[in-house]
Amino acid sequence: MDIILKIRRFNPETDTESRYQDFRIEAEPDERILDVLMRIKRFQDGTLGFRKSCAHGVCGSDAMRINGKDRLACKTLVRDVAQHGEESVLIEPLRHLPVERDLIVDQTAFFERFRSVKPFLINKEPPPERERLQSPKERMAFDDATNCILCSACFSACPILEENQSFLGPAAVVQAFRFLADSRDKGFEERLPVLNASDGVWPCQNHFECTRACPRAIKITKRINETKRMIEAYQKSQSENK
């Protein structure tokens, strides 16, 4: 079938603002949007800018907005966004991050937030002779949070970031939760200043847009709420010990 990809373009060398360009192309319903973009780049316009790497939903490079939803282009089939042919599929860069070129965004602000929560195991106690053991049940407490591929889809989907660009954002909280809930980790107090700041976990208002956008089915909103409860429990225990 014929579809039209309406792609938002921006070339920092020549454009003062973004514009939309239509590409008419034949596509199979079972093709992925990434395949269609690659054909456009190869045969219609070699200047089209987008990121991709693994092409199998693993690297997180090709997150973009497709018909207004944050998705991975390599995990989105043509038939899911254009069913009847001759349809226009809107392709735009992720929101809340500066556009570098066409569909490529600068993820610096996203990764700064990710690093700010210290996304690594913190435990200053001397390790046991073999390894720090963990039961399967303890491991399952944060299982989905280990699946993040840092694609930034949740960051783009988050309505809070529209109003408050300093909000820590969903993915950083998920990364913090992944270690806070890890029975081997002792870094709660080190992460607390970032998480408990006014722009930390608290601006989240449970819109669930991040959870809907996540290509790895991470229960993001649930994990944010669990992190809030951990902070509240810590504060309660501190005031009881005074």
* Least distance in angstroms from the C-beta of 76 to ligand FES: 10
173 binds ligand SF4 (CB under 6 A): no
Distance between CA 227 and CA 220 in Å, rounded?
11
Interface with ligand SF4 in residues 206-235 (CB under 6 A): 213-216, 218, 220
**Chosen residue from 38, 57, 118, 150 binding ligand FES by CB under 6 A:** 57
Residue 175 tokens, joined: 């990364």
C-alpha atoms less than 13 angstroms from C-alpha of 238 in its C-beta half-sphere: 7
Stretch that binds ligand FES, among 55-63, 81-89, 110-118, 187-195 (CB under 6 A): 55-63
Beta strands in the chain (DSSP E): 2-9, 19-26, 63-66, 69-72, 87-92, 99-101, 104-105
* Least distance in angstroms from the C-beta of 128 to ligand SF4: 31
The smaller minimum CB distance to ligand FES, of residues 63 and 231, is found at 63
64 binds ligand SF4 (CB under 6 A): no
Q: Residue 196 class from Cβ within 10 Å (0-12 exposed, 13-18 middle, 19+ buried)?
A: middle
Binding flags for ligand SF4, 121-160, as an x/- string (CB under 6 A): ---------------------------xxxxxxx------
Q: Phi, psi at residue 51, to the nearest 5°?
A: -100, 150
What is the residue type of 70?
A: D
Distance between CA 161 and CA 153 in Å, rounded?
12
89 binds ligand SF4 (CB under 6 A): no
* Least distance in angstroms from the C-beta of 71 to ligand FES: 10
Contacts with ligand SF4, residue ranges (CB under 6 A)? 60, 148-154, 170-171, 174, 213-216, 218, 220
